[in-house]
Structures are given as structure tokens and as C-alpha cells.
A and B are shown apart, each in its own frame.
With several copies, the nearest count.
Chain A
Amino acid sequence: MPWTKIKSDVNEPNYYLESDENIRRLSYSEAIREAMDQALELDQRVFIMGQGVDDPGAMFGTTLNLHKKYGSQRVFDTPLAENALTGIATGAAIGGMRPVYFHNRPDFLFLAMDQLVNHASKWYYMFGGAVNVPIVLWACIGRGWGSAAQHSQALQGLFMHIPGLKLIMPSTCYDAKGLMLSAIADNNPVLIIEHRLNFRHKGFVPETPYRVPIGKGIIRKQGKDITFVAISHMVTEAYKAAEELSKEGIEAEVIDLRTLRPLDEEIILRSVSKTGRLLIADCGWKTGGITAEISALVAEKGFEFLKAPIRRVACQDVPTPSGYTLEEAFYVGSNDILNAAREILQIR
């Protein structure tokens, strides 16, 4: 199945450096693996758990052979018991450890919602700050090759609604490493949602450990005509669309939110204050998803800047179909962004 062997031979868009051929490039999975390796090295409290973290697949390579280096006490396979294991991770965190619990797909988190939402995300508040829960949950969105309804859900729209839970969706190799290291260092529960398509990329990744701040977005491309807000692999898609528009003399500003909660409201509002036009792109469902919140934020706090309706580009509001002809209709990409942008800008 092609989706099990994503080749990371495409360079991500060149956001960081103009034309340096000598930069250190890692694949997306190597970037995360390096973060894990360094976290395990630097902090004895860190450990990795998850179904298959010590197997040859190693979560898309992100945990490859770390059990050999750090031992099977610190990098271990788990039973398929997502609810209890999330609670066990939570308990371990309360007891002073820093678990990182890997899941292949967010779909399986539905089994863990009670421990994640009712417990981990509330513990600090519920006890008036007496106990905090430094856990990281990681899951990678499936897509394509008939992954279908139960293996391809992009659930950031749900998790963005949960107080007490930080929510991260990186789009570059640099951030995948830096945000993972920040998440592990954070004293709160953090959920990282990755996207399989990001794993095609190679990108600039410094070797030394570094942290990318949680809660801060970044502008991937400056622009004055329209603002694109996106996350994860939709940033790449938005960037592609923006480059396309550039050719026509239209400058879209592309914001990579990186964190959905806490949300970087300022970066969005500042951009919209300049462009007056907003398009939000997500790889999850539209209704009640992250595009809704970002739109509502601007309709509430940036209304005066708006020159046109806010458009949302997101997946169809149906369970993911398996057939490829239907997948084509279900998923959105740079073309949809382009079309919606043209509508907002009223070109053609």
C-alpha cells in the first residue's frame, strides 16, 4: 500500500532561507525522531509509549530504534487499551514522569476521550493548581488509499474546543522538532496532530535541541491582498495557491498557525487588518471545525477590517469515503483555496 511507504523526497517550501544549498535537511520523520532522541537523552523523566513504537514501523520512523538506545522501560509498546493507557500516562505524569504517547491515527483517540478530556485536561484546574499533567499525545492523520471513515479523521476541530489542552499542528520539519521539544517541556497536556502528507517532506532542521514557542503562529509568506490562515499540510497547499496568485500580481499572506490552542489571535487579526480578506484552510470537517472558530474570532474582533465574506476551505461534512473517486471530492487542496480566493477577490 503506497501510503505505508511515504517517501520523503520532496523538499518543503523554502520558507526559511533564500538559497542555501548547504543547510542541514532532515525528513519530517527524522526531525521528530531527533526531537525524541534528544528529549530522552536530556531528561530522564521522558518516556515513549504507544502501539508499535518499538517495532520496525516505529510510528513512521519517528521512534525508530529508540528502544534499543534507551531500553524497553523508556520506550515501550502498549496494549490496545487507549482509554486506560491515556489514564496511565496521566498518572505517570502526575507521579513526575513526562510520557509521550504515540497513536497512529487520531481516530483511536475517541477511545481515550474520557481520560484525555475528563481527566488530563482538567486536573490542574480542578485541583486549584495542586497537580499538573505534563503529557504529550501524538497522532498522525491518515489520508488516501481508502483509509476510509475510521482511519482518516482530522479531529483538531474537536480538540480545539477543550479547555486545558494545548493543541499543536506543525507544518515544517523545523517546527515538528521544535514544537515536539516544547510540548515535552510544557507542564500541561499537549496534543500534537500530524498529517501523513507532511511526512513526504524534507526540510531545514538544526541539530542542537531548540524549542518553537507554543501559541505562536508564523507568517510563511507576506502579502497585502488576502490572508490565508492554515495549519499542518494545508499550509503547504495554501502556500502553493499563494505562489500561483503571485503570478497574477495578487499577494496572499500565508499564516501557519502551528498551534490551535492557545490560538495566536494577534497574528490573524493583524494580517486581516492589512488585507481585509480572510480565507481559512483546514484538512478537517468544515461544520464546527477550526475554520469556524477562526472565522468567528475575526467576525467578533476584526469585523471593521473585513471587506468581503470570510471563506472556509475544509473537507466535506461526511464520513471519509474509501473510494478514490470519492476521496478526490472529499479532500481539499491548493486548487480549492485558489478558487475560493478568487471568489473573495472577485476575480474571474
Chain B
Amino acid sequence: MTMNLKKYPHKLLVKLYFDMLRINKVQLHIESLYHLDEMKTPIHLSIGQEAIAVGVCANLRQNDYISSSHRGHGHYLAKGGDLKRLIAELYCRETGCSKGRGGSMHLVDTSVGHMGSSSIVGGGIPIGTGLGLATQMKAEDRVSVIFFSDGAADEGALYESINFAILKKLPVIFVYENNQFAVCSHVSARQAGEIIFHKTPHDAMPSQAVNGNSVMDVYEATKQAVMRARQKSGPSFIECKTYRVRGHAGAGSDEKLGYRTAEEIREWEAKCPVRAFSEILLRDGVLNETEIQIMEETIDCEIDEAFRFAQRSPLPKPEDVTKYLFCD
């Protein structure tokens, strides 16, 4: 990354770094405690993909929408979702963001425009598109961002949704987090080549591929897309090329499974977007070691508090199992 950071406000750069670091640390902490079997929920870590959630969401306002997936911790936090309620959800507590009904794959925080994530791969794509439709119909000034990965790109729902978004010029941004894997299956085993939506005519839907491990690249691409959406000019498509460094689900590396090489994983771990950005910030004097140290401590404190909050929170009562079936 040889980009010139000078043109960006200091505050923005600090925020980008802080948010990435925080998402990274939260997930490492979850990972470190997962073996205790107290978080009785599947987890899908987005370690190594922090730049995408953060680079995108830094362009969004509180009332903008995002749509997310099973691998959604990063999106939730980047959009401003409450950390305590995230951890409480992992601990299956009544104080969780989904009141212990959803678990790690089903996060929600409507106060920041996170309207719920689907664990059906591709399931969130039409819903995010529909949020764009609502925005347009209500003549609101909102953007709807849809995060999805290469597995979801296999699904016809993507084709159908993009067609509709272009047709209606919806304020939707398709953020294709191409981390190259769906469980153990490499994208090349499932897709015939580069995703075809890059070929969409520019005026209908500008499309580009960026380095998903560079928060500034993601930020810049999203900035254009958000501008376009706010100007009511229609949807955009951004492919963020990245890699899933952890196993598909659960804690730790899945190196031993042998479906990909240890070197490949190492290579991509070396491209850690958080560390990469910290190096630039240090190099360019945007931050110094002490400041980063303080950030780390702040985050650690917040994480400890969130876990304590979660662990001490009440569990849903069995007799409430039928609650929330219907809304009055």
C-alpha cells in the first residue's frame, strides 16, 4: 500500500484502525474461550476479513442498513452493534441482541440499521435489496449494504436480486467478500470463473474488485458506491478479495484437514489487514506505539466487561419458548 494517507482526517484513520483492532480482538477472545463450551452456539470467525466490514461501514450512517450472514460478528460491530449484547447472544442469554433466540448466526441491532442476519447462504441478499426498496419507496436517505461471500455468489438469489436492484435503481451496495471458500470448498470448484457481474454496464451497476485486506481500498470503493446510492443513481457491486484464515466454523485453524496448504494459510495470515494497516499508520506517523497500546487496553477492558455482562446475564426461561411466535 503506497497510498497517501495525508488526505484523510486523522480521526477517520484512527477510527478505521480502532474498529478493525476491536473486531479482531473480540473474535480472538471468543476463540480463546470457546473450548469451555459455555458459548453453546456455532461460531464463524471473520478473522482476516476485518478490513471489509470496517472499510465499508465507515462510509455508513447510523440509519443506513446492512444485511449480513452466518459470518457476521465483524459486520455487526463495524455497523455499531452493541458488544455486550453480541457476547450475551453467544452465551444464549436473555440480554443477547436476539434475546438468546438467534445465536451467533442471527445477530440484530435495529438501532444501528442491522436488521438481522440470515444463516441461509445467500438468504440475506434479497432482504438487503428489499431494504433498499423500502428506502426508495419512503424517499428516505439511506443506503442498504449487503455482505455476502463466494458461497452465496453461487445462488440464483444473487442474480435475481441484482437484476431487480438495477431495474429499480435501488440504493443498494453488493459487497462480495470473496474469501475463496465455502466450508472446505474452494470457489474454483463451484464457479466457472470471475463473477459475471463485473461485466454489468457501468451506468447500470458499476462493479470493481479491490484488495479486501486493504481497509483504505475498501473504504474508497465503498465511498463511491455510497455516493452513487445517495444520489439515487442505483446499485454498485464491490468484490473484496480476501481469504478465510480460520476454519469454517468453531475456533482455531483447520490446517490439519489438508484441503488447503499450510503455506497458503501462512501467506494470507501475513496479509493480516489489521497489522498491515497498523504498519502504515506507524510508518506515516498517524499513530505511535503508545497510542496503539492504549487502544489495545481500552478494547481489552471493554471485552472483559462484555463477557462479564454476558456470563452474569439471565438465561431465557424454558416456559417462554413460545414467546415471539407472532407479533401483536
Measuring CB to CB, which residues of chain A are less than 8 angstroms from any residue of chain B? Answer: 1-4, 47, 51-52, 55-57, 73-74, 77-81, 83-97, 107-108, 110-111, 114-115, 118-119, 123-132, 145-151, 163-164, 166, 187-188, 262, 316-319, 321-326, 328-330
Q: Does B235 contact A (CB under 8 A)?
A: no
The 8 closest A-B pairs by CB, nearest first: A91-B130, A87-B126, A95-B134, A128-B99, A322-B103, A84-B160, A323-B100, A146-B41
Q: Do A84 and B320 touch across chains, with their CB atoms under 8 A apart?
A: no
**Shortest beta-carbon distance from B308 to chain A in Å:** 19
Which chain A residue has the least Cβ–Cβ distance from B192?
A79
* B105 → chain A closest CB, angstroms: 6
Residue of A nearest to B100 (CB): A323
- A322 in contact with B135 (CB, 8 Å): no
Indicate if the CB atoms of B123 and A81 lie closer than 8 Å: no
- B residues in contact with A111, CB < 8 Å: 120, 155
- Check if A88 sits within 8 Å of B123, measured CB to CB: no
Output the least CB separation between B148 and chain A (Å).
Answer: 11
Which chain A positions have C-beta within 8 A of B249? 1, 4
How far, in whole Å, are A256 and B134 apart by their CA atoms in the complex?
A: 36
Q: Are A148 and B156 neighbours in the complex by a CB distance under 8 Å?
A: no
Given A80-B182, A95-B133, CB of A322 within 8 Å of CB of B92: yes
Q: Are B151 and A115 interface neighbours, CB within 8 A?
A: no
Contact present for B126 and A91 (CB under 8 Å): yes
Question: Are A322 and B126 closer than 8 Å at their CB atoms?
Answer: no
B265 within 8 A of A: no
Q: CA–CA, A148 to B116, complex, Å?
A: 14
* B8-16, B286-294, B311-319 - the one binding chain A: B311-319
Q: Are A81 and B156 in contact (CB under 8 A)?
A: yes
Residue from B103, B123, B133, B185 in contact with A77 in the complex, judged by beta carbons closer than 8 Å: B185
Q: Which residues of A contact B41 (CB under 8 A)?
A: 145-146, 148, 322
Whether, in the assembled complex, B31 has its beta carbon less than 8 Å from a beta carbon of chain A, the answer is: no
17 further A-B pairs in the complex, CB-CB below 8 A; given A85-B164, A119-B120, A323-B100: A81-B156, A87-B127, A125-B101, A127-B101, A128-B97, A129-B327, A131-B115, A150-B119, A316-B322, A317-B325, A318-B324, A321-B321, A322-B98, A323-B40, A323-B101, A325-B318, A330-B321
* Cβ A78 vs Cβ B190 within 8 A: yes
From A81, A132, A188, A322, contact of B101 by CB (8 A): A322
Residues of A contacting B104 with CB < 8 Å? 146
- Whether a CB of chain A sits under 8 angstroms from the CB of B108 is yes
Nearest CB in chain B: distance from A346 CB, A: 26
Please tell me if the beta carbons of A321 and B101 are within 8 angstroms of each other in the complex. yes
Name the A residues within 8 Å of B155 (CB-CB): 80-81, 111
The distance in angstroms between the C-alpha atoms of A204 and B317, with both chains bound, is 41
Interface centre among A164, A319, A329 (most CB of B within 10 A): A329
Contact B327 A124 (CB under 8 A): yes
Contacts of A151 in B (CB 8 A): 42, 105, 119
**In the complex, which residues of chain A have a beta carbon less than 8 angstroms from the beta carbon of B191?**
79
24 contacts between A and B (CB under 8 A): A1-B249, A47-B137, A51-B182, A55-B257, A81-B160, A88-B129, A88-B164, A91-B128, A95-B115, A96-B138, A110-B120, A114-B157, A128-B100, A146-B42, A148-B41, A148-B101, A148-B103, A150-B106, A166-B326, A319-B325, A321-B316, A323-B40, A323-B93, A326-B316
Q: How many angstroms between the C-alpha atoms of A166 and B118 in the bound complex?
A: 21
Q: Are A321 and B100 closer than 8 Å at their CB atoms?
A: yes
Task: Indicate if the CB atoms of A115 and B42 lie closer than 8 Å.
Answer: no
Bound Cα distance A326, B324 (Å): 12
Asked if A124 and B250 sit within 8 Å, CB to CB, the answer is no
Task: Please give, as numbers and ranges, the residues of chain A lying within 8 Å of B80 by CB-CB distance.
Answer: none
Asked if B250 contacts A107 (CB within 8 A), the reply is: no
CB closest chain-A residue, reference B158: A84
Smallest beta-carbon distance B206→chain A, Å:
21
- Chain B residues near A128: list those with CB within 8 A: 96-102, 108, 324
In the bound complex, residues from chain A placing their C-beta under 8 Å from that of B100 are: 128, 321-323, 325-326
Q: Which residue of A lies closest to B317 (CB)?
A: A325
Interface residues of B (CB under 8 A from A): 37, 40-43, 65, 67, 92-93, 96-106, 108, 110, 115-116, 118-123, 125-135, 137-138, 144, 151-152, 154-157, 160-161, 163-164, 167, 182-185, 189-191, 249-250, 257-259, 315-328
Q: Name A3's closest neighbour in chain B (CB-CB).
A: B42
Nearest chain A CB to B322's CB is how many angstroms away? Answer: 5
Contacts of A89 in B (CB 8 A): 130
- Interface SS of chain B: loop
Q: What chain A residues lie within 8 Å of B322 (beta carbons)?
A: 316-318
Complex CA–CA separation, A87 to B158 (angstroms): 11
> What residue of chain B has the Cβ atom nearest to residue A78's Cβ?
B190
Alpha-carbon separation in the docked complex, A56 to B248 (Å): 12
| Chain A residue with Cβ nearest B161 | A84
Which of A2, A57, A163 has the most chain B CB within a 10 Å cutoff?
A: A57
Query: A115: nearest residue on chain B (CB-CB)?
Result: B126
CA distance A110 to B119 in the complex (A): 13
Contacts of B131 in A (CB 8 A): 91-92, 94-95
Residue pair A83, B325 in contact (C-beta under 8 Å): no
Given the known A-B contacts A78-B190, A127-B102, A322-B41, are A87 and B119 also in contact in the complex, defined by CB atoms under 8 Å? no
Task: Name the B residues within 8 Å of A79 (CB-CB).
Answer: 154, 160, 163-164, 167, 190-191
State whether A56 touches B257 (Cβ < 8 A).
yes
